[in-house]
Structure 1
Amino acid sequence: MKQLIKKSFSSNTTQNNISIALLILRVVIGGMMLTHGLGKLTMLFGNDPIQFLDPLGIGLTASLALAVFAEVICSIFLIFGVATRFSAISLSITMFIAAFIVHSNDDFAVKEMALLYLLIYVVLTIVGAGKYSIDNWLSKKIA
């Protein structure tokens, strides 16, 4: 029993558990955001006129393209742990704009999902991808 307790709370096990948790978080959140982005991707390359907000005043197409980049490309990068911090920052900016500009006049219930995503992306920006990522593999190859 002592061995089990000791092993459960050792720093190696804790680091491994954190990396597993980061892997699960990246894959699930990346996959969930990807579903939002794929709808926007079809809107960007579809035949219908673009109906998207322009919260930064850069044009409908540019705003939609930036959202697609973050929600599709950065989500795929996040899932595999490639350029994780860059991807998480891009997604954080997108969710910040969604929560505080696009939905600024909406009730909290409408903003809540964007705020939850924002929180997760800020944490991933701070913590990084963990050891089960291409970022980690590349850092070992370079070093």
Structure 2
Amino acid sequence: MRSRVTDLLLLTPLAQLGDLGLFLLRCVTGAFLIYQSHDNIISAARMDEFVKFLVQFNFWAPELMAPLSVWWQFIAGIGFIIGLLTRWLGLITAFNFIVAVWMVHWSQDFAGWWPALILAFLGLLFATLGPGRYALDSWIAKRARHDRDRTETAPAW
């Protein structure tokens, strides 16, 4: 009886859906990163606007940093959706948006920080938790464990 009450209060059965929740969070984050970066990739004029934006905020080497940032966001978006290199892309995303908070949003109020701050923390979440079950990373890890186990149990001839 006590266990059922605790489960009800803490909603512990929902933990079974943790991998699905992580998958959905990765997908919506990835879709947002693709959406916000794709126009700079397909339009030289939009990329030029972004370079000017970075110049305005005194970024080092804006002609290099603009495409680097845009392409990393785009690649991270794809990687998050399919769950490939999730931890690495999480670290890169966190770094990219921590820099954005520091260089662009620092003088703004908390609401101005919010979008970049959330993306920084989502990056840290993906870097620490990994992609969950529904990801290419998990499939690759599972295959590697299987191959390692087969190698370790194979007879030595």
Question: Same fold, TM exceeding 0.5?
Answer: yes
Evaluate the alpha carbon distance shift between residue 135 and residue 49 of structure 1 in structure 2; reply closer, same or farther with a 3 A threshold. Answer: closer
Change (3 A) 1:113 1:140: same
2:67 maps to a residue whose letter is: A
Change (3 A) 1:48 1:104: closer
Secondary structure class of the residue paired with 2:48 = coil
Which SS does the other structure have where 2:134 is aligned? coil
Map of 2:153 onto structure 1: none
Change in Cα spacing, 1:49 to 1:133, as seen in structure 2 (3 Å) is closer
Unaligned runs of at least 5 residues, structure 1: none
C-alpha distance in structure 2 between counterparts of 1:48 and 1:117, whole Å: 22
Distance in 1, matches of 2:47 and 2:17, equals 47
Give the equivalent residue in structure 2 for 1:71: 73
- Partner SS for 1:63: helix
Q: Distance in 1 between matches of 2:118 and 2:82?
A: 21
Residue aligning to 1:60:
62
RMSD of Structure 2 on Structure 1 (CA): 2.4
1:83 counterpart = 2:80: no
| Residues 31-83 of structure 1, C-alpha deviations (whole Å, 9 max, x = no match) | 0121111122234xx257723205541x2221112211221011101110000
Matched, 1:21 2:27: no
Q: Which has the larger radius of gyration?
A: 2
Using the alignment, how far apart are the partners of 1:114 and 1:9 within structure 2?
A: 31
Task: Tell me, in whole angstroms, the C-alpha distance in 2 between the residues paired with 1:77 and 1:128.
Answer: 12
The residue identity in structure 2 corresponding to 1:50 is D
Give the structure 1 partner of residue 113 of structure 2.
Answer: 111
**Alignment match, 1:50:** 48
Distance of aligned partners of 1:120 and 1:142 in 2 relative to their CA distance in 1, 3 Å threshold: same
Aligned residues with identical type, % of pairs: 21
Q: Which SS does the other structure have where 1:31 is aligned?
A: helix
The match for 1:96 is 98
CA 48–142 in structure 1, closer or farther in 2 if over 3 Å, else same: closer
TM-score scaled by length of structure 2: 0.74
Normalising by the residue count of structure 1, what TM-score does the alignment of the two structures yield? 0.81
Aligned equivalents of 2:129, 2:89: Cα separation in 1: 13
Q: After TM superposition, where is structure 1 displaced by more than 6 Å over at least 4 residues in a row?
A: none
Preserved contact between residue 50 and residue 60 of structure 1 (Cα < 8 Å):
no
Count of residues paired in the alignment: 133
TM-aligned CA deviation for residue 88 of structure 1: 0.8
User: In the TM superposition, what whole-angstrom CA distance separates every residue of 1:112-138 from its partner, at most 9, and x where no partner exists?
Assistant: 111111111111111000010000001
